[in-house]
Amino acid sequence: MGLRIHFVVDPHGWCCMGLIVFVWLYNFFLIPKIVLFPHYEEGHIPGILIIIFYGIAMFCLVALVRASITDPGRLPENPKIPHGEREFWELCNKCNLMRPKRSHHCSRCGHCVRRMDHHCPWINNCVGEDNHWLFLQLCFYTELLTCYALMFSFCHYYYFLPLKKRNLDLFVVRHELAIMRLAAFMGITMLVGITGLFYTQLIGIITDTTSIEKMSNCCEEISRPRKPWQQTFSEVFGTRWKILWFIPFRRRQPLRVPYHFANHV
Three-state DSSP at 104 gives: strand
The answer to whether the beta carbons of residues 67 and 201 sit under 8 Å apart is no
The answer to whether the beta carbons of residues 103 and 265 sit under 8 Å apart is yes
Q: Which residues contact 91 (CB under 8 A, 6 or more apart)?
A: 97, 98, 99
Q: Is 40 exposed, middle or buried (0-12, 13-18, 19+ CB in 10 A)?
A: middle
Catalytic residue (one of 120, 126, 139, 219): 120
The answer to whether the beta carbons of residues 102 and 261 sit under 8 Å apart is yes
What are the b/e assignments for 197-230, b being 16+ CB within 10 Å?
Answer: bbeebeebbebbbbbbbbeeeebeeeeeeebeee
Three-state DSSP at 46 gives: coil
- In the residue annotation, 120 being an active-site residue is answered as yes
Nearest Cα residue to 122 out of 194, 72, 27: 194
Residue 226: DSSP 8-state: P
Residue 32: DSSP 8-state: I
Q: How far apart are the first and last CA of the chain?
A: 29
Would you please indicate which residues are annotated as catalytic (active-site) residues?
Answer: 120
